[in-house]
Chains A and B, each alone.
Chain A
Amino acid sequence: GAVVSQHPSWVICKSGTSVKIECRSLDFQATTMFWYRQFPKQSLMLMATSNEGSKATYEQGVEKDKFLINHASLTLSTLTVTSAHPEDSSFYICSARDDTGSGANVLTFGAGSRLTVL
């Protein structure tokens, strides 16, 4: 079945540094990927929709200069948290939709990346 790989699964960084998280669809192409943020014991909050070859669409309240998204190929989207601060510490999850359409609206999720900013 469809698999989405996220890397790194866990990262600790100092305040002020930037962190890049990769999301790869391993056995399918995904024109569209989604980035979510999950706080402890809370639901997923959609951050942005990543579109291959074009700019990402950010949800209201999400700073696009803070969370840079690049979707350079049909199998890779990256989320860069720039100048990270402790309040950016969270669990970031990506998901991808298979372009073939056989999965209808089904999303495949990555395992998530836990970011801790000291």
Chain B
Amino acid sequence: AQRVTQPEKLLSVFKGAPVELKCNYSYSGSPELFWYVQYSRQRLQLLLRHISRESIKGFTADLNKGETSFHLKKPFAQEEDSAMYYCALGNSGNTPLVFGKGTRLSVIA
């Protein structure tokens, strides 16, 4: 069964501090991992996906199949990063994504 675990409900960091939002997954096949972000009063939007290997808004995430993790990182947090972050797991085809419970990031000035 597919499962996504985000162990932290809330993460508070000071502006300029490094951020790491943890995500672990459980899936027997070849996974596709995503990070979605929801800013206050806005819709969910894609932040990044592992196959793109890109950095968006300073965030990066590396898929570690050995540890079944896809942690989201940013070296220097900014106030505008405060949002709800969801890790999601998918596979090929039209199957739905499975979301973690989300982590609320609060960046303190």
Using a CB–CB cutoff of 8 Å, the interface residues on chain A facing chain B are 31-32, 34, 42-44, 46, 49, 51, 93, 95, 97, 104-112
Contact = CB atoms under 8 A, between A and B. Distances in A.
B3 to A, nearest CB: 12
Contacts of A46: 96, 98-99
A108 B100 CA distance: 17
Given A42-B101, A43-B86, A44-B86, A106 B96 contact: no
Contacts of B34: 105-106
A62 to B, nearest CB: 12
15 contacts: A42-B101, A43-B101, A44-B99, A46-B98, A46-B99, A51-B94, A93-B43, A93-B44, A97-B94, A104-B49, A105-B91, A105-B97, A107-B46, A108-B46, A109-B36
Given A110-B43, A111-B43, A112-B43, A105 B102 contact: no
Nearest to A99: B94
Given A34-B96, A43-B99, A44-B86, A105 B32 contact: yes
Contacts of A109: 36, 43-45
Interface of B: 32, 34, 36, 42-46, 49, 51, 86, 90-92, 94-102
**Max chain B Cβ within 10 angstroms of own Cβ: one of A32, A107, A112:** A107
Q: Interface residues of A: mostly helix, strand, loop or mixed?
A: strand
A4 to B, nearest CB: 8
A44 B36 CA distance: 12
Contacts of B97: 34, 105, 107
Contacts of B32: 104-105
B43 A49 contact: no
